[in-house]
Amino acid sequence: MKYAVIDISSSSISMIVAAREGEKTEVVFKERASLSLVHYLEEEGLSARGKEKLIEMLVRFKETAAELGVERCYLIATAALRHVKNFGEIAASVFEGTGLTVNLIDGATEAYCDYVANLYYKTCERPVLIDLGGKSIEICDLAKSDKQDMMCFSFGLLDLYRKFVSNIYPDEKEAKEIKRYVREKFDRAGLPGEGVFSTAVMVGASNAAIYDIYAEFSDESETNGVRTIRRKKFKKLVRHLLTGEDRSRLVLNNAPEKLYLIGSAAIVLKYLFKRFGVEHIVVSERGVKEGYLQLVLSGEESGAYYDFVRGSADGEARKLPEKTAARKTEKSAKRGRPKKKAEAVPVPADGKSAKRGRPKKKAEAAPAPADGKSVKRGRPKMKGTSGANTDTAASSDVGTVQETPESQTKTE
């Protein structure tokens, strides 16, 4: 049986297709396409044009999945849509245009998916996992196993770029400001210092792009299928990205879609490598999508999927924990902000609004239409969980995530 997982991130749409035989699951296809949803964000959320672009891309990915013989397709969204005000409208539009139901993943689960996908690296010497996203950063101690031990910071490379960088790349002054900012965030969250970790496992699209740039800059390649980075040469690469004359050529040759994020990513990684005092750096090919599929197939997670055999959506959409919504409502009341009732608007995983000054809204579950029909005007109808065809039982959030809320972002 073949499964697909499509991930909506802040700078791209990506998909994996995996074949499962017995207890063995193997990824047989990967695809990624650039789509920076952040460019379509307005005061009220994702613009109409942004929704159109998203749906166009998802239709293309769904068609590819069908051509590859996929039977079940899961659509997930992480930090890119966790803080968008009109998520309910987006989810309804996506379902109407594609038949796919969006499973919204909270910060704790996002970090846990990274962890599960990279358990192979637990055999390395004191490993720590690092995933730099556009709107969040995940750091996981691979020696631990509980979801509550995973760290998810609710700011990412896009936030750092908007807050500190005035041009394409940070200059030396801006680099110091970025370093100071992330150090304060990590210190406040109790992130360990030197002596705890020895091996850094880099995960995610931004880290993969960093490796491709590093490989050309250092004229190094994979060794026995393992992608590694030498810390001394990486420090030289960071210096080159800040001051080198041909840095744009280097980035455009290897990761054009990450042009505005590479500088911030390199600065954060250099700081983390020094903070941890790591001796070994490896780059993983597995991330959130692989971890999510593994959790679904094992029964630890559940979510809505598109059934290509039946030609309809099944299951109940993954949603943010209700306790998060309760915390948000309570804080909003204390601050005296007006509370508005909204249709299917998710609550950020850290219980706080994405930006200052916005009235907080009471969260409801993201819609999960299940009859495969187009969405009518008004709220899409919810299908009850009774008799729903899901891969697993209802999911549970174990523990709490350590998150650091983002302050005001810099306007481009």
Order across the sheet with 151-153: list the strands: 151-153, 137-141, 127-132, 199-203, 280-283, 227-229
Name the residue type at position 253: N
Q: Give residue 370's pLDDT.
A: 45
3-state DSSP assignment of residue 13: strand
Sort 266 into a burial class: Cβ within 10 Å, 0-12 / 13-18 / 19+.
Answer: buried
Tell me the pLDDT tens digit for each residue of 250-279.
999 999 989 999 999 999 999 999 999 999
* Residues in contact with 399: Cβ distance below 8 Å, sequence separation at least 6, in sequence order: 108, 146, 147, 148, 149
Angle of helix 48-67 relative to helix 87-98, nearest 10 degrees? 40
Residues belonging to the chain: 412
Percent of the chain with pLDDT over 90: 64
Distance CA 270, CA 232 (A): 10
Name the residue type at position 353: S
Q: pTM of the predicted model, to two decimals?
A: 0.75
- CA 286 vs. chain centroid, Å, equals 13
25: enclosing H helix or E strand: strand 24-34
Tell me the pLDDT tens digit for each residue of 294-306.
999 999 998 999 9
Tell me the pLDDT tens digit for each residue of 137-156.
999 999 998 988 999 999 99
245 band by pLDDT with thresholds 50, 70 and 90: confident
Angle of helix 205-218 relative to helix 262-276, nearest 10 degrees? 90
